[in-house]
A and B are shown apart, each in its own frame.
Chain A
Amino acid sequence: MSAPREPLFLARQNYRRRRLADAARLLPVLGGLLFLLPILGTSTGAITTAGGGLFVFSVWVALIVVAAFLARRLTAGDNAGPDGDSG
């Protein structure tokens, strides 16, 4: 931890972090679109509550998993405290 970092490495890490932040920004947009997807589907009247529910809950789980991954990666860099979120 205390060893001086090399500039090249730092830049690379910074770059990664930026892209991670981009992904974190994109995630809610993606989630929103997916959640709104059923609106398009209902015009055919083919969706049941059970099926729709399955779809919504699956998207939900996927969002949670991706968000957990991004959150861990995004906070890993500036984690100075002892606790952190290793869950």
Chain B
Amino acid sequence: MVGFNVLVVVCVLYVAILFGVAFAADKRARDGRSQWLRGPWVYTLSLSIYCTAWTFYGAVGYAARSGLEFVTIYLGPTLVMVGWWWILRKLVHIGRAQRITSVADLVSSRYGKSNLLGVIVTLLAVVGTTPYIALQLQSVTLSFAVFASEGQAGFELPDLNATALWVAGGLALFTILFGTRNLDANERHNGVVTAIAVEAVVKLVALLAVGIFVVWGVAGGPSEIAATIDASPIADWQMNGSRWASLTFLSAAAFLTLPRMFQVLVVENVDERQVATASWAFPLYLFLMSLFVLPIAVVGLDILPEGSNPDLFVLTVPLHFEQEGLAMLSFLGGFSSATSMVIVAAIALSTMVSNHIVMPIWLSVRHQGASMSGDVRHLVLISRRLSIGGVLLLGYLYFRFSGGGAALAAIGLISFAGVAQVLPALLSGIFWRGASRNGAAVGLVAGFAVWAYTLFLPSFGPAGVISPQVLADGPWGMGWLRPQALFGVEGMDPVVHAIFWSMVINTGLFFLFSLVSFPSPLERLQGAQFVNVFEHSGAARGWAQGGVQAEDLLVMAQRIMGGSEAQALFEAEAAAQGKDGYLPDTSPDFIERLERELAGSVGGATAHAMLGQIVGGTSVSVEDLMAVADETQQMLEYSSKLELQSEELTRTARQLGEANEKLTQLSIQKDAFLSQISHELRTPMTSIRAFSEILMEGGMAPADSRKYSNIIHDEAIRLTRLLDDLLDLSVLENGQVNLNPQADNLADVLDRAVAATTSVGAGTAIRIKRDPVREDVALFTDTDRLAQVFINLIANAAKYCDADRPKLLIAVSKRADRLRIDFIDNGSGIPTESQVMIFEKFSRLSDQAKAGGAGLGLAICREIMDKLGGKVTYLPGQGGAAFRVTLPLAPLVAGS
């Protein structure tokens, strides 16, 4: 007999293996070796979270009660998958084009990024999913109990509630660990998906093993099984046509709208070709999952004592024949079904709750919101983690207080009917441009209300919310409002009744309100983009040309996407526009793209609201839409080749314009160069001449003459330094410099640079913050030259940082084969228009004499870094002045 303890050990081991798989897959993906993870097979297997514990255990129970009807739950998804060309292909395409994060996000984005709809769908999903999670907890604890009670020899029945709590806690941990690693929901949760694929295999193998055992081991072959079926209580197909049809429809609808299915179908999808393979492979999986359901059911009915729970036949039949190993496998199959469903559901729900409830509240509480300081990423991750915990807690509480017991299938269908209310808004949204926000909101709320009234609330039983009296006579005696016989339509199956009325009322109101309302411009734009997703991708834009600063956008993007991702995005965009650095033009196209990137992290509505705060609400107007339409019309007249050429031309023109602007400015600078150099040389010379004349006249007190000699001495040194710099620069520029590469540690180079600057500038007390661990990098380069660059940057910060308590952060990071050292101070920074010029010679931004240099420092730095194979750039959007030194990690080859 398998003891309870053995079972627990096996469970823990199994979970440990899953952790290992998830961890390894995450690591592989991070290392960029995820080729097979992106293949269609892992995708297909991940869809198997459709088969939860309800189907693993419950399908047999369902078959034992009502015969063949259980297959409807699989037929709906089969039809959806086989019909991928209609809906799924479009959904996946839209999901990727718009960077959709959840089903709530899809509905919200489609209807003008309306957060109201996001909230409605999120609430609906939470209400619809909580019982389902409770169901999974229940099935796991029941299967534990089976083993415990089979183990007769004085096992005390374990505390089911405690078991459920442990399972819920463990699942929360797993989900948080692997589900909230990345903020970007559009980045695959590689670890989770791979673990789920493994679980999919386990549950399929388990069910097939039990089935094969039953058919060939117990019954003796297919024909014997057919005979057993004919002899069983469910031999005659008591078909209820309306249930058959509506359950097929319901399962198809739920397959598309369940938050967890949307997560694996659309959000986790990385390649549209995956859908093509899954279109037949997933039906095959479902087929195999249901192939042996009927045999197991009839054998269970045949051999097990009267009154055995058919929902647990998958376990109790092998146990009856003393097949311990098989029972254990089957137990793991059920365990897999339950855990994979809960994990993905928790991820999907937490994304929705965080993006559509927490973030909007946070945004409205902090009005200045988006452009303020503070890490939004952290906030979003925390809110997701808390949501995961909250969702599982809700599921656990539902399990505790509903007391379990009811047939598993009942809760499953109720849950399906709840989330299916999203279907009209979803499908019309992607096929009908006239579908409007008002229609969707009214339809959803009405459908949800009807579902709750006719199906959900009555499911709590006579002691629940709806009393038997209301059930029989309607509220306040109004017969036409009886929950299970609305409008006097009697004799319908309660589930069919609820599906029928909720869908009819939902769809009816949806169309009615869509027809009479007039959508906002943004809504119309989104509608066109969703419905015509295959025709024009990205021709229309959601933002008008505005005067927004790229730097402000960068500041916000950094806080949501993280520093290096945001900088990479901005740099790439700037490069595409033919510009250097990190600040592209804030064209409507770029803002649109940025919004989509942000939407991948925080959802469409929130991303739009955040950008709106910065861009200043210059969103589209009807005129813009018309202009776009005209533009699109014109565009069609050109061939794509011409379009490409004109794009190329624009880029060249932009580059030329920029080069020209730089030249003009350079020529002004060249002009100023002479007068500058004259000034820089003559100023110290004046003091020297004046004081030497004074000294020549003689007759001074010794103290005075010492003082004046000192001044002459200092000014002579100043002159020398200036000449040194000039020579240095000219040598560097002419490339006649000799580099002395040597091995050193970055920390040591920085130490020297900091020491040099603090000893020279006595009055400049800038506080320097460093990170010794990250600075521990071995270098092979001309470290004296490198130190010279560092000294210059630190001295600049000390001189120009205008904060009350000046601070300088030296941050070191590695990216690919390059080392990045950022010098970020807390002053007011450098204005955007000056950022291009500061590396030019003699470009001192202020005339302050205290600067003490001739404005050659940064020009020298640039030349040095150029020689060392790296570069020094200004890094905008860091709060203060920030310079980034980039250095190749590869050893420097001596002699240039």
Contact = CB atoms under 8 A, between A and B. Distances in A.
A49 B237 contact: yes
A75 interface: yes
14 contacts: A25-B85, A29-B83, A31-B83, A38-B237, A45-B236, A48-B230, A48-B236, A49-B230, A49-B232, A50-B229, A52-B239, A60-B78, A64-B283, A68-B281
Interface string B209-248: 0000000000000000010011010111101010011001
Contact of B80 (A28, A35, A42, A57): A28
A78 to B, nearest CB: 8
B387 interface: no
A83 B39 contact: yes
Given A42-B237, A50-B229, A56-B71, A68 B280 contact: yes
A66 to B, nearest CB: 8
Contacts of B818: none
Interface in A57-87: 57, 60-61, 63-65, 67-68, 70-72, 74-75, 78-79, 81, 83-85, 87
Contacts of A35: 75, 79, 248
Contacts of B279: 67, 70-71
Q: How would you classify the secondary structure of chain A's contact residues: helix, strand, loop or mixed?
A: helix
Nearest to B230: A50
Contacts of A24: 83-85
B284 interface: yes
A39 B82 contact: no
A53 B68 contact: yes
Contacts of A85: 40, 273, 276-277
Interface of A: 21, 24-25, 27-29, 31-32, 35-36, 38-39, 42, 45, 47-53, 56-57, 60-61, 63-65, 67-68, 70-72, 74-75, 78-79, 81, 83-85, 87
B273 A87 contact: no
B83 A27 contact: yes
Nearest to A20: B85
Q: How would you classify the secondary structure of chain B's contact residues: helix, strand, loop or mixed?
A: helix
Given A49-B294, A53-B294, A83-B39, A71 B280 contact: yes
B244 A36 contact: yes
Contacts of B86: 25, 28
Interface string B79-103: 1111111100000000000000000
B277 A67 contact: no
A49 B281 CA distance: 26
A58 to B, nearest CB: 11
B79 A39 contact: no
B480 to A, nearest CB: 29
Task: Count chain A CB atoms within 10 A of each CB in B36, B39, B241 and give the residue with the most.
Answer: B241
B311 to A, nearest CB: 19
Given A50-B229, A71-B276, A79-B273, A64 B287 contact: yes
Contacts, number: 121
Given A50-B230, A64-B284, 4 more contacts: A27-B83, A28-B80, A35-B79, A49-B294
A32 B226 contact: no
Given A57-B287, A79-B273, A48 B294 contact: no
A38 to B, nearest CB: 6
Contacts of A72: 276
Given A63-B283, A83-B35, A85-B277, A49 B82 contact: no
A12 B80 CA distance: 29
Contacts of B81: 67
B802 to A, nearest CB: 54
A27 to B, nearest CB: 5
A74 B284 contact: no
Given A28-B80, A71-B279, A74-B276, A49 B235 contact: yes
Contact of A48 (B78, B237, B271, B280): B237
B291 interface: yes
Contacts of B284: 64
Interface in B278-297: 279-281, 283-284, 287, 291, 294
B67 interface: yes
Contacts of B234: 49
Contact of B239 (A39, A63, A64, A65): A39
Task: Count chain B CB atoms within 10 A of each CB in A24, A45, A64, A68 and give the residue with the most.
Answer: A64
A38 B242 CA distance: 12
Given A53-B68, A79-B273, A28 B82 contact: yes
A31 B76 CA distance: 10
Task: Count chain B CB atoms within 10 A of each CB in A27, A28, A48, A78 and give the residue with the most.
Answer: A28
Contacts of B75: 35, 56, 60
A69 to B, nearest CB: 8
A44 B226 CA distance: 22
A71 B236 CA distance: 37
7 interchain residue pairs of minimum CB distance: A28-B83, A68-B280, A67-B280, A24-B85, A39-B241, A85-B277, A42-B239
A39 B249 CA distance: 14
